[in-house]
């Protein structure tokens, strides 16, 4: 990297999963809008053709008149070429195909187990983890060999176990897991301020929160706006909207299964006195099947099930749009994605210091959780430094819910690394959503395992 006049050029970033049709275009736009940074994005993907597409798209965007910086995009055929000597690594992949995802999400439904997302916990999330961990072993080994000093940003789910695997294989890695779920809750608090007190123009950074938990099962025990405690107002807000929910668009959850009316979040606040900081669709998968007992129960809590066929349909539409971008028929709109990767880059480069939530191994920032397990708390970014901030401890009744998943994640990691089917089943059957009989659980586990076995090298199946 080269520093001059408050700008940093010649930044080298490797992007594993660089053939993406989703996150890649957001990254391309965000980088083009940032005038203090420039450099090269090295795109690597198992589908080299898709990486070449993003090479073409990225370079075309750099030539836009309204682009504030110029980046060179280059697709590489090997992981070693993409990684050698880079300053940063972004990892955003789909571990498997929609066929495996369909098994993750819909096979458990045959046993009455419903998962709105199915990528983090529950039977689907645990099975996804089993096939993702070997991929991350490969990434960690390659990073250790070719880019040991690089900062590594992980965006893939299951976020916790992907990040945990990187550290397990390469303990000195400088990796962080990045997720925007907390941003959504800060956005809800901003809308609350407008609704309850008519306060407008509040920015996300104006909402200060203390974050504790694990990815997609995060909690806030302190929230302030200009030093004003927001918990009393949130309590009134919950009471007011508990029954009808609170959405940006009334009944939006009925037509958009990626949204919810926040009723689960409100219910968890009433039960535990903390603000559940992830989206309802993720939160329900960490709890016993209180909210997902059946489709009628799900509807009563005002969120939907994101089916894999709907994802396939969405992907087809995205592919058509992407084709128009690649051909030049349409231009990529240059608007900020709302992600934090640019600010995080600038923080680690040394252009600014700030605090935000990230996923890191527990070095004592969160009490009540084993050291080394990956937790999500606030951390301070500054020049080549990322330091977790002491977050305290969850109340015992909430910590027990979180800890169960932490130990399950540690168990599934060990099972994946040791290729131990029996150990994997122990984690599977201990998941709170798996309330079926032991024989049915074994049957479901075996079915799901066999349908993902092609991603489990070395397993005796």
N-terminal to C-terminal alpha carbon distance within the chain: 48
Give Cα separations from 189 to 262, 391, 446 (angstroms). Answer: 12, 20, 43
Query: Do 71 and 58 meet the contact criterion of CB atoms below 8 Å apart?
Result: yes
Q: Are strands 217-225 and 228-229 parallel, antiparallel or unpaired?
A: antiparallel
Q: Can you say whether residue 310 is alpha, beta or left, with left for phi > 0 and alpha for psi between -120 and 50 degrees?
A: alpha
Question: What residues have CB less than 8 Å from 320, skipping those under 6 apart?
Answer: none
- Helical residues (DSSP H) of 147-275, grouped into ranges: 159-169, 181-197, 231-241, 252-255, 263-272
| Bridge partners for 76 per DSSP | 44
Query: Do 151 and 89 meet the contact criterion of CB atoms below 8 Å apart?
Result: yes
Q: Other C-beta atoms within 10 Å of 149: how many? A: 12
Helix (H, G, I), strand (E, B) or coil at 380: strand
Give Cα separations from 59 to 53, 326, 329, 391 (angstroms). Answer: 10, 11, 15, 42
Per the annotation, the verdict on 390 as an active-site residue is no
Question: What residues have CB less than 8 Å from 84, skipping those under 6 apart?
Answer: 146, 147
Q: Are strands 366-367 and 275-276 parallel, antiparallel or unpaired?
A: unpaired
Distance CA(131)–CA(374), nearest Å, equals: 19
Q: Is 430 exposed, middle or buried (0-12, 13-18, 19+ CB in 10 A)?
A: middle
Q: In the block, which residue shows the tokens 């984690």?
A: 427
- Catalytic residue (one of 48, 106, 180, 426): 180
Q: Are strands 174-177 and 151-154 parallel, antiparallel or unpaired?
A: parallel
Distance CA(225)–CA(200), nearest Å, equals: 12
Contacts within 8 Å (CB) and 24+ apart, 203-209: 209/182, 209/185, 209/277, 209/378
Question: What residues have CB less than 8 Å from 317, skipping those under 6 apart?
Answer: none
Residue count of the chain: 461
| Bridge partners for 230 per DSSP | none
Q: Is 435 exposed, middle or buried (0-12, 13-18, 19+ CB in 10 A)?
A: middle
Q: Which residues are catalytic?
A: 180
């Amino acid at each position: 990297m080269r520093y001059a006049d408050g700008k940093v050029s010649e930044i080298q970033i490797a992007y594993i999963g660089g053939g993406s049709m989703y996150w890649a275009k957001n990254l391309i736009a965000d980088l083009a809008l940032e005038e203090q940074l420039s450099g090269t994005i090295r795109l690597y993907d198992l589908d080299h053709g898709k990486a070449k597409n993003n090479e073409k798209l990225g370079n075309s965007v750099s030539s836009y008149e309204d682009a504030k910086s110029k980046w060179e995009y280059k697709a590489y055929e090997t992981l070693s070429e993409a990684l050698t000597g880079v300053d940063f690594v972004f990892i955003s992949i789909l571990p498997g195909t929609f066929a495996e995802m369909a098994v993750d999400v819909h096979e458990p439904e045959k046993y009455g187990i419903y998962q709105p997302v199915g990528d983090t916990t529950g039977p689907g999330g645990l099975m996804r983890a089993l096939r993702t961990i070997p991929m991350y072993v490969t990434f960690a080994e390659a990073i250790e060999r070719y880019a040991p000093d690089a900062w590594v940003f992980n965006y893939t789910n299951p976020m916790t176990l992907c990040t945990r695997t990187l550290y397990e294989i390469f303990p000195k890695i400088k990796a962080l897991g990045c997720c925007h779920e907390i941003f959504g809750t800060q956005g809800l608090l901003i809308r609350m301020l407008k609704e309850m007190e008519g306060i407008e123009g509040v920015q996300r950074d104006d909402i200060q929160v203390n974050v504790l938990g694990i990815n997609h099962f995060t909690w806030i025990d302190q929230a302030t706006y200009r030093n004003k405690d927001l918990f009393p107002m949130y309590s009134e807000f919950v009471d007011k909207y508990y029954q009808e929910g609170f959405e940006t668009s009334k009944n939006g959850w009925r037509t958009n299964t990626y949204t919810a009316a926040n009723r689960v979040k409100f219910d968890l606040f009433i039960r535990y006195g903390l603000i559940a900081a992830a989206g309802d669709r993720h939160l329900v998968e960490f709890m016993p099947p209180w909210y997902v007992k059946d489709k009628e129960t799900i509807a009563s809590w005002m969120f939907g099930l994101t089916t894999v066929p709907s994802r396939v349909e969405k992907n087809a539409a995205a592919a058509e749009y992407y084709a128009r971008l690649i051909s030049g028929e349409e231009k990529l709109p240059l608007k900020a994605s709302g992600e934090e990767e640019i600010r995080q880059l600038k923080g680690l480069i040394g252009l600014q210091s700030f605090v935000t939530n990230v996923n890191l191994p527990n070095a004592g920032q969160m009490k009540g959780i084993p050291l080394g397990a990956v937790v999500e708390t606030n951390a301070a970014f500054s020049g080549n430094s990322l330091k977790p901030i002491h977050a305290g401890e969850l109340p015992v009744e909430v910590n027990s819910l979180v800890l169960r998943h932490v130990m399950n994640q540690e168990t599934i990691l060990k099972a994946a690394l040791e290729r131990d089917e029996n150990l994997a089943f122990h984690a599977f059957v201990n998941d709170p959503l798996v309330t079926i009989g032991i024989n049915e659980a074994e049957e479901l586990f075996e079915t799901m395992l066999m349908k993902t076995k092609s991603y489990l090298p070395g397993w005796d199946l």
